[in-house]
A and B are shown apart, each in its own frame.
Chain A
C-alpha cells in the first residue's frame, strides 16, 4: 500500500544520463530551471520542449514514470493557472461574464506558468530518477565544498542527508509491516472521525519511533566501530572525476540555454496572443 510513494525515486537503467557525474546533473538541472523562468516566448518553450524530449529519450526512463511525479503538483498547478487566468487585469479582454474577466495577458501568463511548472517537475524528476540518492549527496557535498571556508559543516550536512535518504525506504517498509501486523490484530485504520483515526495511529507510531531509534543507535555504533569521526581527513573510495562525457553534457546544456535565450530575444515567434 505504502510502496506507491515515488518521491525522489531512482529508476535503475543503463543510459548516458545515468552515467553522468552527479555534479553535472545538479548544475545542469539548475541551469535548465533558470532558463525556464527567464523565458517568456513561444520559441523559447519550443526549444525547451525539444531539449527535454531529447534528454528523456537519452535517459531510457519510461515516460509514464516521469509523468507520475506530476500527480503530486496537480492541485498547485490548477491553483496557479486559475489565479493567473482570472486575476490578471491588463491587456485586451477576451471573455467577460458576471464578475469574471479573462484577458489576453492572463491567458498567456497562465499557460506559460503551467508549462514552467510542468517542465520544472519533469526536469528535476529526471535528475532524481537517473541519480542514486548516494551519488546525489556526493554531488551536493562536492559542489558545496567552498562553503567550508565559511565554517559550514558541509560533510556533516551531506552525511545527514544521505542517511535520511537511505532510511526513507527502510522506514516505509517498516511502517508497512507494522501496519499489517496491527491490522492482523484487528486494528481499524480507515473508519471513524478525525479523533478516532488519530488515536488509531498510536499503535503504529509508537513501534515506528521505537524502531527508528533502535536503528539510529545501531547505525551510530556501526559507524563508530569503523572509526568514523566526521569529514576531516576523510578520503573517498570513488572520488568524483569529470570525464569527457561530463564536459560534453556541460557544453550541450550551455548551448541549449544560449540558444533558448537568443531565440526568445530575437525570434519570439508570435502566434495569436502567445
Chain B
C-alpha cells in the first residue's frame, strides 16, 4: 500500500506540474461546453423566441398581397421589413446585407389576381356537380409568376426548410381563405360573415408537445442537458494528451526500465496511473457539471439539471473515466514519441467523438455509420449519460450502454499489457 501511495503521489506531482496538460484537461472542455451550449441555445432561441429578419418586397397592389404579409406576421417567427419602390435582384441582395436579413420574399405583381383566379376555378369545379352557380368557363392563366425567396448561403438546409414550410403554410392559408369566401358567395349569394371566416380558417387542432422520459417527468431538454454531458466525455478522453505523453516520457527516459530492476510489480505503476487519472476525470465531471448548474444560469444559459439517480451518475462517470484512462494508457504504450501520442491521441478522440455522436447526433448519421459508431467508446458513454440526463433513466435503464463500455475498457487494458510486454517493459 505504501508503494502504491508513493506512486500515486509521484503521478499527482507530475500531473500538477504539467500546466499545459491541465489547461487541455480542464480549461478547454469548459470553454467548449460554454461556447457550444451558448451557440446551440441561441439557435433554439432563434427558432423559439428571437425573430428571423425577413425582407418583404410586395409588388402586388391588391388586397391579397397585404393579407399574405399579415399572415406571415401572424406566424410569429419573422421580423418583417417591408420594401417600397422599385428594386432589382441586386438591390434586394444589398438590402438583405444592410438589414442583416437572412431571407427575403418577393410577392409578384399578379399575386392577388392569381389567388382569386385559382379560388374561382376551384369553386366552379366544386359546384359543377351540384348545379349551383354560374356556367362560366374556367379562367385560364397566362404564365403564373412565382413568389421568389432569396436566402443567405449561410442558412443551413434544415433551417431553410423550416422557413419554407412557414411561408407555404401562409400561402395555403390565403388560398384557402379565398376558396372558402368564393364558395360561400356562390352558394349563399352573399359575402361570408367575418366570424364564420375566422372560425373556418383558424380552427386548427392544437398540438401538445410532450418529451418522452423514462421517469415520467415532463422536463423539456435544453441545450445544457445536451451539451454538458457530451463535452464532459470529450474532456475525459482528452486526458490522452497528458497521460499518453507522460507514459511516452517514462519510456523514453528509461524510468520504466529502472522500475523493472526494483522489487515491485509493474502493476503498481499501472494501477497508480489509473487511480490518478480516474480522479482527474471525476474532477473534470464535477467542475463541468458545477459550471452547468451554477454558472450557466448567470450567463443567461439554461441550468443543467442533474439526473435523479445520482448513484447511477457517479457509476457512469467512473466507468467513462476508467475507459478514457485505459484509452490514454494504450496510446501512450504504443506511441514512440510524445508528438505521436499527442497527434494520434487528439485526432483519434475527435474521430471517435464524431462517429460516436458527440459532434453530430447519432440519429442524423447515415445508416452505414450506425454500426461503426458502436465501436466508439464515446458513443456508449454518451448513450449512458443521455439515458440519465435526457431520458430520466435509472441504472437498470442504461445497463446495456455500460456493458459494451466495460468490454471496450477491458480490451484496451489487455492491449496495453500486450504492448508493454512486446516492448519488453514488463
Q: Do A and B come from one complex?
A: no
**Which chain A residues have a beta carbon within 8 Å of chain B's beta carbons?**
none
